Amino acid sequence: DTAVSQTPKYLVTQMGNDKSIKCEQNLGHDTMYWYKQDSKKFLKIMFSYNNKELIINETVPNRFSPKSPDKAHLNLHINSLELGDSAVYFCASSRTETQYFGPGTRLLVL
Amino acid sequence: DQQVKQNSPSLSVQEGRISILNCDYTNSMFDYFLWYKKYPAEGPTFLISISSIKDKNEDGRFTVFLNKSAKHLSLHIVPSQPGDSAVYFCAASVVLDDKIIFGKGTRLHILP
């Protein structure tokens, strides 16, 4: 049973397109996160939601919009994709201080 | 500004020996520290953590040491096994902030 799952695993798209990445957790956690791992391998937090409410919003372009339809889901929608958006995006969830990560979505913008 | 630094991008250790991965941090407000292990094409997996009120936490072959005065922590793996070959991320957080800051990672190679 996958605890934190993401779809799709790979996403190749053209510049200017709009795309979404989905995340689901079956751990019953209250808090979910989106991280970006860039080409320099840094894992940086983008957003976090607690019980469907946004609690962390780092310096991320407005083209990125998280949506949490319920506690178990946190989707990431990206408008007008740019070349610099190419990265691996990880979803995570937590109840306490420890976060559990999904397998990642590898986004390539051409 | 890197608040969590892993200065060794890679480390090679003979199977059966001790692997020591190091991590330094700059923010004295951090009160919780974690190590994650990552295999290629997978998400980071939680390995072990330590609260700032402790200086050592042990779980099987893995031990994390925290030196608050030096703002330094280390992960010891003994004995090292082939399956330990992975990238190890050090991470730190201020518990009330609910945000984890990650280091850049150290790639560990266990040699046969």
User: In the prediction, which pLDDT does B56 show?
Assistant: 97
At B91 the three-state DSSP class reads strand
pLDDT one-digit tens code per residue, B58-104: 999 999 999 999 999 999 999 999 999 999 999 998 877 767 889 99
Looking at the DSSP assignment, which residues form a beta bridge with residue B45?
A: B37
Confidence of residue B107 (pLDDT cuts 50, 70, 90): very high
CB-based contact A99 B41, cutoff 8 Å: no
Give CA angle at B42 (B40, B47), nearest 5°: 100
Confirm or reject contact between B40 and chain A (CB < 8 A).
no
CB-based contact A99 B46, cutoff 8 Å: yes
pLDDT one-digit tens code per residue, B36-50: 999 987 889 999 999
Tokens 């990642």, residue located: A104
Q: Which of B32, B36, B89 sits opposite A97 (nearest CB)?
A: B32
Task: Please identify every stretch of chain A with a pLDDT value under 70, giving residue numbers as ranges.
Answer: 1-2
Q: Which of B46, B87, B99 sits opposite A98 (nearest CB)?
A: B46
User: In the prediction, which pLDDT does B40 show?
Assistant: 85
Whether B1 has a pLDDT exceeding 70, the answer reads no
Give CA angle at B85 (B104, A102), nearest 5°: 60
- Residue B107, burial from CB neighbour count under 10 angstroms (0-12, 13-18, 19+): middle
Looking at the DSSP assignment, which residues form a beta bridge with residue A92?
A: A33, A101
Cβ atoms of A60 and A47 within 8 Å: the answer is yes
Confirm or reject contact between B98 and chain A (CB < 8 A).
yes
User: In the prediction, which pLDDT does A34 show?
Assistant: 94
The residues on A that touch B, with CB distances below 8 Å, are 4, 31, 40-45, 48, 50, 55-56, 90, 92, 94, 97-104
User: In the prediction, which pLDDT does B96 show?
Assistant: 73
> Could you give the CA distance from residue B101 to residue B33 in angstroms, rounded to a whole number?
9
User: In the prediction, which pLDDT does A39 show?
Assistant: 76
User: In the prediction, which pLDDT does B2 show?
Assistant: 79
Q: Which of residues 52-81 of B touch A (CB under 8 A)?
A: none
> Could you give the CA distance from residue A9 to residue A88 in angstroms, rounded to a whole number?
9
